Each structure stands twice: as C-alpha cells, then as structure tokens.
Amino acid sequence: MGLEYEQIAQFPDVATAQPTRRPRSRRAVRIRTVIALGLVDFFCLAAPYLLVGLIYPVARGQAIISAFFLIPVYFVAGFGSGAFSSVIFSDTGRAVRRGIHALLLAAGSTLCLVFFLKSGEDLSRAAFAMGLTGNLVAVSLGRASLVHLLGQRGGYQYETVLLSDNGGTLEGRFSRILPLSAFDPYQQCPDMYDRLARMLGDVDRVILDCPREHREAWIDVLKGANIQAEMLAPEIAMMRPLGVAQFGGKPTIVVARGPLSVPDRVIKRLFDVGVASFALLLLAPILILAAIAIKLDSKGPILFIQSRIGRANRQFHVFKFRSMRSDASDNKGRRSTDRNDDRVTRVGRIIRRYSIDELPQFINVLIGEMSVVGPRPHAVGSRAEDKLFWEIDQRYWHRHAAKPGLTGLAQVRGFRGATERQDDLVQRLQADLEYLDGWSLWRDVKIIAMTFRVLFHPNAY
C-alpha cells in the first residue's frame, strides 16, 4: 500500500502495556506546529509585497491592497486543500506543493474577486505580479525550511500504527505495531475499547491487517475510534485501485481517473497558454529563418504533419518542421531516425540537432492538443525491436491519461532519440508514469528548466 513510516517499537503484551508518557500532548504539538506554519506562510506572503512597496514607493498602496486581498484567500484555500494537514509535516515536497497549490488558487480567486468588486483600478498588475513571484519563492523556501527544522528537532511527527500479528512480513515503516491477539473485536467490553483507545492515543492513522473473516468485526471497532483507519485488502491489489466511490447506493472501486483535478487542469492550461504564447513571440525570428532555410534546401512543404497518439488515446496531428526529403517521409513513424539517416536533409540535420524541428508544436499547445510538459507523443507505428510499443508493455496506454508534451520527465533524464531496444521504450514509459503519478506545477517548471540542459543531447539526430 506504499506505507512509509518507521517501525520503532512493538508491544508483545498490550494488555499490560501503559501509554507512553510524553512531556507534551500530541494535540498541543499539532496545534503549535500548525500555528507556526501559519505564521511562516503569513510572513512569506506579506514580505514580498512590503518589499515591492519599498522598491517602488508609487506602488506601495497597490502592493498593500494586493496583500490585503490575497492573504485571507490563501488561508481559506490552504485549509480547504490540505496545505495545513498533519501529513505534510513528514514530507517536505508535499508541504511545498500544497502551499504553492493554495497560493495559485488564491491568486486566481483574488483576480476574480477584484474583477467582480470592480476594484481593478486600485490593483496594480505589476505590483501584484512581482509580489506573487516573490510569494512563490518565499512560500517554497519557508515551508521547506520549517519542515526540515521540525524533522531535526523532533517536532510534530506523522504517526501511523499497524494493527497486525504479521507486522514483520508486511512491507512498510510504522511508528508502532500492536498485535491483534491482544484484543478481541467480538467482545463488547468497555475495558477492551478503553485499552485500545489509550494505546492508539492521538495517532494520525491506523492500518488494519487481519484475516478476511475478522474484518467486519474490526471495522465496527475502529469506526468509533475517531482516527483515520484503513484496511489492507491484498486480494484487490491486482486492480491497482485508486479509491472508493458509490453508484446506486453501492460501493465501487475506482480503478482509473484523470491524473489532474479540475483546478489543476485550469492551472496547467493557463500555464501552457502563457508559456506557448511567450515562446512563439520570442522565437519568431528563429521560426521564420528555419522556414526559409527548409524551403530553399529541398522541395516540399515547410511543415511535416503526422498522426500521433494524444490524451485519452485519441489521435491528433502534430506539427513539426520538415527535416527529411518529402518523398522519404514516414507518416506512420514505422522507422526510427538513425544517426546517419540518408532521409534527413542538410537543414534537417541542423534543426534536429538543436530541437528546432519541434518548435511548431507550440501551436499544438495553443490549440489545446498538447501541453508544454507531458509524455512525448508517439507515432502510431512506432516500434522497438520490430514490436509496436503497446506490444512491449501493456501499461503503454496508461501514459495517455494526460496531454502529451513538448518535453517531459523522460526527455530530461536523457531518454530520447531512436528506440532501438525494448528497454528504450520501457525506461521512457517508467518516467512518463512517474510524472503522471506526481504532477505539480512546480515540477513542470523544473522540467522546463532542465530541458535546456538536454537540448544538445548526443541522441538528438
């Protein structure tokens, strides 16, 4: 189940064990930790706007107004989206991601609020943009520093208890393991319930690992424990369930869903449109020169249009600068480009070497068929060792749960160029699925930055 908690103690005799005495209750530590995080966030939100006001005195009033609108909305969005939940204090990356997510939601909500209140004339776009940029940096650093400091000083720790008689054979790290044999879930005894409650204390999560025939009884016990309780069910592991839903009043197992929520899709789409628009304007001279060079170098169209597999496994037409002779173009992508491929033109070899041939795909991004970052789209006839990609690994279709991208995690890890061996495809697929499982806007930004390091990769030919 992907549990990651440290096993630090076992209790062979729970009936006689006493709860560990702590100098401070976990609830008090939790409250103080959340307050500390709130203060850090408040400072990281207010300081950039105060700095903007100091640098640009004429915009001081607008900067204060921006902070006045943004800060309360951030805390509302943060508490609603889990930016202050206890689980983030054991994961620096998660703490930063949720803080940035709340900040972007707050920024979008603030702009909408200003629009509907007709207060736009009181809000400086420059002051707001500079302050928000500072917020992104400050919140990231502030949250990361606080979580790191808490870890060093033994502050609030997310605690998980495993209820099991097979704790030694179960993969995972737990705060404590309580043996099931010490409790009788069929015994309607207040003393037993009291003993279990005292042993669980203020833990954050309970994992139940018991035989199938005893699950119903244990579930009845844990439903009143006022703790998040989860039950291991190895028999459904093959389904790789994502959650539980309901239909017609009956529970269903969620086995697939889009990797992004609706707010995340909106944020990613706005980011894509902004980056693509800016890139097309900035790179316009290069695009024009490349088009002229292609036309002068060989006969045929400037653009090469090819069918590729996109989001939801729908095919779309991707735009590229033509880099091969028009009579040797491979619309199905059955043959990967070789290092000394005789189909590639003189200009084509240059634009492929510097990835200039991919730049027209920013048009696909604006249309909405692609994203700036995502799994690279493959031609329908792409092969490795004379096998179609989906014949190599059945998980291949899973990578199309999101829009394909101009660049992606696989590319920045160096997995690009021809797929000569089956392992070439598997490595890229692993990176694509990892990207889908852990999407964040900050990760997209990092991948874009890392892309510049691999533009001149030796496999680009």
Over residues 161-165, the mean pLDDT reads: 84
Q: With DSSP H G I counted as helix, E B as strand and the rest as coil, what are the percentages for the chain, rounded to 5?
A: 55, 10, 35
Q: Give start and end residues of each alpha helix (H) in 325-421.
A: 346-353, 361-367, 389-392, 409-412
Instruction: Measure the CA–CA gap between 333 and 388, rounded to whole angstroms.
Output: 11
H or E element that contains 320: strand 315-321
pLDDT tens per residue across span 346-365: 999 999 888 899 999 999 99
430 CB-near residues (< 8 Å, 6+ apart):
none
CA distance 88 to 94: 6
Can you read off the two tokens belonging to residue 132? 């928000």
Note the pLDDT of residue 375: 94
- List pLDDT tens digits, range 104-116: 988 888 777 766 6
**Above 90 in pLDDT, residue 185?**
no
Q: What secondary structure letter does DSSP report for 421?
A: S
CA distances to 7, 190, 306 from 19, rounded to whole Å, are 17, 17, 66
Tell me which residue has tokens 């279990």: 196
Mean pLDDT of 140-154: 84
Mean pLDDT on 247-260: 77
DSSP label of 181 = G
Q: Which residues contact 183 (CB under 8 A, 6 or more apart)?
A: 14, 192, 195, 196, 221
Asked whether residue 322 carries a pLDDT value surpassing 80, the answer given is: yes
Question: Could you report the per-residue pLDDT of 55-70, keeping only the tens digit for each?
Answer: 877 667 777 777 888 8
pTM for the model stands at: 0.56
Distance of CA 138 to the CA centre of its chain: 20
pLDDT in tens, 16-45: 344 444 445 666 777 888 899 999 999 999
Is a pLDDT exceeding 70 seen at residue 313? yes
- Kindly state the average pLDDT of the residues 382-402: 89
Helix H or strand E encompassing 208 = strand 205-209
Burial class (CB in 10 A: 0-12, 13-18, 19+), 416: buried
Tell me what the pLDDT averaged over the chain comes to.
82
Tokens representing 226 are 């006022």
Torsion over CA: 295, 297, 298, 302 (sign) = negative
Tokens of 386: 């004379």
